[in-house]
């Protein structure tokens, strides 16, 4: 069963703004019936101020598709169209306290329905640049279509190169066969094998002192840094509290829609390097957690 956050469940069991808005003047219809998720978003926009007065959704889809739709309508009400357009799919996922990697496409669908509805209001034609394939890398949420595109565009030949360009395969490494298959499909011959990861030395559980633990965490972050810096981002360790590790994603990582997936990948690497379960949390949430929030 999926691990849905309480907020996802709450929005699924008690969806807000279900149904079409009466006298809507903006409609966006996106999704894929073959994949089993599709959404019609209707908005009532004040033509003078371009403020979204009402929002409603009709969704054919799973629990997280319905929850993402419900969250989206709550988020956009009262916003101007300009403000609404700044909402990223990660914002929708964050509003729901996260979505499983396999379900991030539900938040993407929400983001696209919004763009389509606003284009409809403005009398523009909306084109989606969305291509979706089977999810290959669960740690970083990278699908086959994305890998294929990047492999072709950059003439990539090995798993290591794919990891460097897309992050796919850089976490738990269980998807390497899947990446190899994509490479074989494109280039014919089997790709070069991936080097054995040196960062993910598995250590027996519980054998580390606090200092050793923190050093090891820093080592892992250090080894991931080049990958993030290639995308003009970076990561810094802020604090370690029991099994919660607080980090700051900085540079281009700030506000990047892949930030959640990146944290997931870092977490996976740390779990393997430390041989224990840890949670990687943005430092911005330290106060919330300290106050007993969430």
Partner 1 sequence: MADIYLDNNATTRVDEAVVAAMLPFFTEQYGNPSSMHGFGDKVGRALRQARVQVQTLLGAAHDSEIVFTSCGTESNSTAILSALQAYPERREIITTTVEHPAVLTLCQHLEQSEGYTVHYLKVDKQGRLDLDAYRAALSPRVAVVSVMWANNETGTLFPVREMAELARSAGVLFHTDAVQAAGKIPLDLKSTAIDMLSLSGHKLHAAKGVGVLYLRRGVRYRPLLRGGHQERGRRAGTENTAGIVGLGVAAELVQQHMEYANTVVCRLRDRLEQGIIAQVPNCFVTGDPHNRLPNTANIAFEYIEGEAILLLLNKAGIAASSGSACTSGSLEPSHVMRAMDIPYTAAHGTVRFSFSRYNTADEVARVVEAVPPIVAQLRKLSPYWDGNSNGPVRDPQQAFAPSYA
Active site members? 35, 106
Answer whether 4's CB lies under 8 Å from 92's CB: no
Which of 5, 7, 10, 18 is the binder for partner 1 (CB under 8 A)?
Answer: 18
User: Which of 48, 40, 129, 50 is CA-nearest to residue 85?
Assistant: 50
User: Which of 211, 199, 203 is CA-nearest to residue 274?
Assistant: 203
User: How many other C-beta atoms can be found within 10 angstroms of the C-beta atom of residue 157?
Assistant: 15
Answer whether 92's CB lies under 8 Å from 107's CB: yes
* DSSP code string of 212-241: HHHHHHHHHHHHHHHHHHHTTEEEEEEEEE
Cβ at position 60, least distance to partner 1 in Å: 5
What residues between 231 and 290 interact with partner 1 by CB under 8 A? none
Which of 6, 97, 124, 128 is the binder for partner 1 (CB under 8 A)?
Answer: 128
What residues between 22 and 41 interact with partner 1 by CB under 8 A? 29-40
65 binds partner 1 (CB under 8 A): yes
Pick the piece of the chain touching partner 1 (CB under 8 A) from 12-20, 203-211, 246-254, 286-294: 12-20
Cβ at position 102, least distance to partner 1 in Å: 5
Answer whether 119's CB lies under 8 Å from 90's CB: no
Alpha-carbon Rg for the chain, nearest whole angstrom, is 21
Which of 25, 63, 83, 160 is the binder for partner 1 (CB under 8 A)?
Answer: 63
Which of 135, 136, 253, 261 is the binder for partner 1 (CB under 8 A)?
Answer: 135
Taking the C-alpha atoms of residue 29 and residue 33, their distance in angstroms, rounded to an integer, is 12
Cβ at position 285, least distance to partner 1 in Å: 27
Q: Which residues pair with 18 in a beta bridge?
A: 57
**Residue 20 vs 205, nearer CB to partner 1:** 20
202 binds partner 1 (CB under 8 A): no
Pick the piece of the chain touching partner 1 (CB under 8 A) from 79-87, 125-133, 268-276, 286-294: 125-133
Q: Is the dihedral of CA 51, 53, 58, 62 positive or negative?
A: positive
Pick the piece of the chain touching partner 1 (CB under 8 A) from 126-134, 146-154, 203-211, 258-266: 126-134
178 binds partner 1 (CB under 8 A): no
10 binds partner 1 (CB under 8 A): no
**Residue 51 vs 58, nearer CB to partner 1:** 58
From residue 81, give the alpha-carbon distance in Å to each of 51, 117, 161, 174: 6, 10, 40, 42
Residue 248: both structure tokens together: 């700051």
**Residue 129 vs 155, nearer CB to partner 1:** 129
**Residue 64 vs 107, nearer CB to partner 1:** 64
**Per residue in 42-73, is it b (16+ CB within 10 Å) or e — as a string?**
bbbbeeeebbbebbbbebebebbbbbbbbbbb
Cβ at position 138, least distance to partner 1 in Å: 9
57 binds partner 1 (CB under 8 A): yes
Binding site for partner 1 (CB under 8 A): 9, 12-13, 15, 18-19, 29-40, 57-66, 102-103, 116, 126, 128, 130, 132-135
């Amino acid at each position: 069963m999926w691990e849905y956050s309480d907020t996802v469940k709450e929005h699924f069991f008690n969806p807000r703004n279900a149904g079409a808005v009466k006298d809507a003047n903006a409609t966006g219809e996106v999704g894929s019936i073959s994949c089993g998720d599709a959404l019609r978003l209707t908005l009532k926009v004040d033509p003078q101020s371009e403020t979204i007065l009402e929002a409603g959704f009709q969704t054919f889809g799973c629990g997280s598709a319905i929850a993402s739709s419900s969250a989206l309508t709550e988020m956009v009400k009262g916003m101007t169209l300009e403000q609404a357009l700044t909402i990223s799919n990660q914002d929708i996922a964050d509003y729901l306290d996260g979505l499983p990697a396999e379900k991030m496409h539900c938040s993407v669908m929400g983001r696209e329905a919004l763009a389509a509805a606003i284009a409809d209001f403005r009398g523009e034609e909306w084109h989606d640049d969305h291509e979706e394939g089977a999810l290959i890398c669960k740690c970083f949420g990278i699908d086959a279509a994305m890998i294929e595109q990047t492999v072709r565009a950059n003439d990539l030949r090995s798993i290591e190169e794919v990891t460097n360009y897309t992050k796919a395969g850089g976490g738990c490494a269980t998807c390497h066969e899947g990446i190899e298959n994509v490479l074989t499909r494109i280039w014919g011959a089997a790709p070069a094998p991936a080097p054995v990861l040196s960062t993910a030395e598995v250590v027996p559980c519980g054998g580390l002192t606090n200092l050793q633990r923190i050093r090891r965490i820093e080592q892992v972050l250090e080894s991931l840094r080049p990958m993030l810096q290639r995308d003009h981002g970076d990561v810094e360790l802020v604090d370690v509290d029991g099994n919660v590790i607080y980090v700051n994603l900085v540079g281009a990582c700030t506000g990047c829609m892949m930030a959640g997936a990146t944290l997931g990948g870092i977490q996976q690497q740390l779990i393997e390097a430390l041989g224990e379960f840890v949670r990687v949390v943005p430092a911005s949430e330290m106060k919330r957690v300290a106050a007993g929030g969430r």
